[in-house]
Each structure stands twice: as C-alpha cells, then as structure tokens.
Amino acid sequence: MTNFLQPKKIISETAIVEGSVAVDFGFGNGIFLELLAREVGDSGEVYAIDIQEDIIVRVKKEFEEKGIENVNFIVADLEEEKAIKLKDSSVDFILISSLFFQLENKEFVAKEAGRILKPNGKVLFIDWRDSFKGLGPDVSLIFPEREAIKLFRNLSFELERRVDSGEYHYALIFRKI
C-alpha cells in the first residue's frame, strides 16, 4: 500500500497560513491534527471536534506530552444543531477527512462548515473513492466525489482544486464564496 493517504503531503499542498484558525471535523485518530497545529503555528489555533470522548482524552494527552498547546478539543456530534460552539465566520480552514461515509445528515454538516467559515475560507474534503474489497467502508456508504462537489457547490462553495491523495481517497479544496 505505497499509495495510501499521505497526510504530510496533503497538508503541505493546502497553503494554510500561520496564525490561521483551523478546525478538524471528526478528527478520529488525529493523523492530520498535529500537522494542522504545526501549520497554523503558535499564533494560530486548531479546534479538534469528535464525538468519541475516549479518543479526545487519548489524543489530548499525547499532545500535552509533545508540548502542543494550540489545539482545543471539543466533544460534539457534528450532526446535532448548535453542537459546534464556534461563532459564524470565525474559521479560516476546515478539514473533513474520511467522515461523510459515517454521517446521516451530510448536508447539515456541510452547512455548519459554511456557517463557521470566513468568506474565502477553505475546506479540505477527503473521502474514500471505493470500498476496495473491505479496506474502506462498505460500498453502500461511499460518498462519491461528484456528490461532494455537487453538495458544496449548492452551498456557495467553489471547487478550487483537487489534491493528490493516493489511489484510495480523493481530496478536494473548496473555497467559500
């Protein structure tokens, strides 16, 4: 699996500015979180949102041990109204990675991204291309790239570009119009 998801490469291509405010929706095992924290630097901050409290406790402890202090952890169900306690137009960058196949209300989560994102703010959207015989999610849960583009365009985002994310995932950068 030499061409699996490569977080360092992907984040390096996003042009996140030091001092930015970034959010990771459903950060899971946190593979992108430390990279985001480094990109925004000490003058920026990252909000790490996940529904699984045990994962938050574990990753928060790891970050404390590493001396990473610019990440704020939030326990929240992204599909619940007002669960994200961030202000409207307060965020520069949002990462949504391998999350939509797990969600019932995809449109609501995309709308919340639009609500908290500043004008011209960006969303990096990454998801599975296929099930790959069980390596990824069940084929019935795959959220196709064309559907992601359609959803975000309908919510006043434009597709800025695609990012090479290996053969198993697609990655899209959307800009809020």
Residue 36 lies in a domain: yes
Residue 10 lies in a domain: no
Cβ contacts of 167 within 8 Å, gap of 6 or more: 3, 129
How many domains does the structure of the chain reveal? 1
Query: What helix, strand, coil percent values describe the chain, rounded to 5?
Result: 30, 30, 40
pLDDT averaged over 10-residue windows placed end to end, the chain, 177 residues: 79 95 94 96 97 96 96 96 92 97 96 97 97 94 98 98 95 97
The pLDDT value recorded for residue 3 is: 64
Provide the domain limits for residue 158. 17-176
Q: 13: closest CA among 165, 170, 146?
A: 165
Residue 145 lies in a domain: yes
pTM value is 0.96
Residue 7 lies in a domain: no
- CATH code, 163: 3.40.50.150
Residue 129 lies in a domain: yes
Distance CA 42, CA 62 (A): 18
Residue 6 lies in a domain: no
Distance CA 96, CA 113 (A): 9
Report which DSSP code applies to 59. H
Residue 5 lies in a domain: no
The pLDDT value recorded for residue 14 is: 93
